[in-house]
Amino acid sequence: MDFFNMLKNRRSVYGLNKNLPVFKDKVFDLVRDSVRYVPDAFDMKSQRVIVVVDDAHEKFWDAVYDELVRATGNPIPRERLDSFAAAAGTILYFYDSAVVNEVRKRYPLYAENFHDWVMQSNGMLQFAIWTGLAEMGVGANLQHYNPVIDKMVAQMFNLPEAWVLVAEMPFGGIAKQPSPKIPEDIDIRVKIEK
């Protein structure tokens, strides 16, 4: 697939199931390669990822539900969370704040920029993996239950304190295709200067 078609093919897919069109190992390799090749400011390699599958995946979304109930003090509808649990797995994105703080100390003139850079490189990684999954026919969407679930995630996966959760990406077979994009006049957002 050419690059433009790969971009076009990446969508937020909410209708996911466990029938992956590829072996799970292909997904794990995509994640490893994306982490290897996606850039970061000062090459600090701040991105961290956990791919959660099988029993751990079911356990994870049950625990997200429990945390949301705890945070709101009310039972909440399960449909949305169940739709994520119905997927084949979830990719958790983090950055390692210990690495970031270490590099930040070496560049005090730019200290305030580091948080933006960390989020930009994490977003690049999310985008690379999301697009790579789409290229394999695997659907995915992007969720943000952090910071509500931060403590639970750290405990569940026994993480170093310095790992900061950024996003959750359920992925799986495509049970329902998303609606086509609404056409837009792209020249409102893009200017060509000569």
What token pair was written down for 158? 């026994």
Residues between 149 and 178 with contacts to ligand FMN, criterion CB under 6 A? 178
Single out the residue of 66, 52, 27, 50 nearest to residue 159, CA to CA. Answer: 50
Query: Measured from the CB atom, is 103 or 149 closer to ligand FMN?
Result: 149
The reply to whether 143 sits near ligand FMN by the rule CB under 6 A is yes
CB of 4 to ligand FMN, least distance (A): 14
* Chain-centre distance for alpha carbon 128: 10
Stretch that binds ligand FMN, among 44-52, 103-111, 140-148, 154-162 (CB under 6 A): 140-148
User: Is residue 141 packed enough to be buried (19+ CB in 10 Å), middle (13-18) or exposed (0-12)?
Assistant: buried
Of 48-56, 102-110, 138-146, 153-161, which part binds ligand FMN (CB under 6 A)?
138-146
Nearest-approach distance from CB 160 to ligand FMN, in angstroms: 25
Contacts of 81 (CB under 8 A, 6+ apart): 61, 64, 65, 68
User: Does the protein bind ligand FMN through residue 124 (CB under 6 A)?
Assistant: no
Cα dihedral across residues 17, 22, 23, 29: positive or negative: negative
User: Cα(66)–Cα(75) distance, rounded to whole angstroms?
Assistant: 9
d(CA 96, CA 39): 15
Q: Which stretch binds ligand FMN (CB under 6 A): 15-23, 30-38, 46-54, 141-149?
A: 141-149
CB closer to ligand FMN, 96 vs 168? 168
Instruction: Give me the residue whose beta carbon is nearest to ligand FMN.
Output: 12
Asked whether position 12 contacts ligand FMN by CB under 6 A, the answer is: yes
Q: Which residues contact ligand FMN by CB under 6 A?
A: 11-12, 141-144, 178
